Structure 1
Amino acid sequence: MNKKLDIIQNLKDAGCDDDFITKYLRLEKSYNRQEQLKLLSLHRTSLINQIHDSYNMIDCLDYLIYKMKKQKY
């Protein structure tokens, strides 16, 4: 049981919602490692995309700050 709780906590810490965790555990119960890995990979990709989106937003703000300083608003 401790292993299951550790997995659940790890998934929560990784930002997985309850539906994701339920699906993952269902796959665990059926020993479907391939689908578990696919599910984890998809979530990882989603997190990386969020990082890229955040970088783009930061770049936009940096550009606006640069323009404002240059024009002495």
Structure 2
Amino acid sequence: MKKMEDIIQNLKDAGCSERQMKDICRMYEAGRIQDVIRSLRCYRCHLMDQLHESQSKVDCLDFLVYQMEKERKIR
């Protein structure tokens, strides 16, 4: 069994809210490991969605910079 302090630190490092941490810790202490795993996977999906959204924004900026550099060379 993992130390609760380690679990809490890991959840903090992952950016979980206080509410999420409390819910996960409660489920873990109650032995509801499958629910904990489901909750962690759900949060991971949320983070991946944010990552993809950020990547899309970076791609847009990269394209704009490319266009500007191309225009600068023409002038």
Q: TM-score, normalised by structure 1?
A: 0.90
- Which position in structure 2 is the counterpart of 1:28? 28
CA distance in 2, matches of 1:29, 1:66: 53
- Which position in structure 2 is the counterpart of 1:53? 53
Unpaired stretches in structure 2, ≥5 consecutive residues: none
CA distance in 2, matches of 1:58, 1:39: 29
CA distance in 2, matches of 1:37, 1:14: 14
Give the drift of 1:30. Answer: 1.4
CA distance in 1, matches of 2:44, 2:57: 20
Q: Structure 1 runs of 4+ off > 2 angstroms? A: none
Unpaired stretches in structure 1, ≥5 consecutive residues: none
1:26-66 CA-to-partner distances (Å, cap 9, x unmatched) read: 10121111110000001111111111111101100011001
Please, what is the CA RMSD of the aligned residues?
Answer: 1.5
Number of equivalences: 72
Report sequence identity in percent: 39
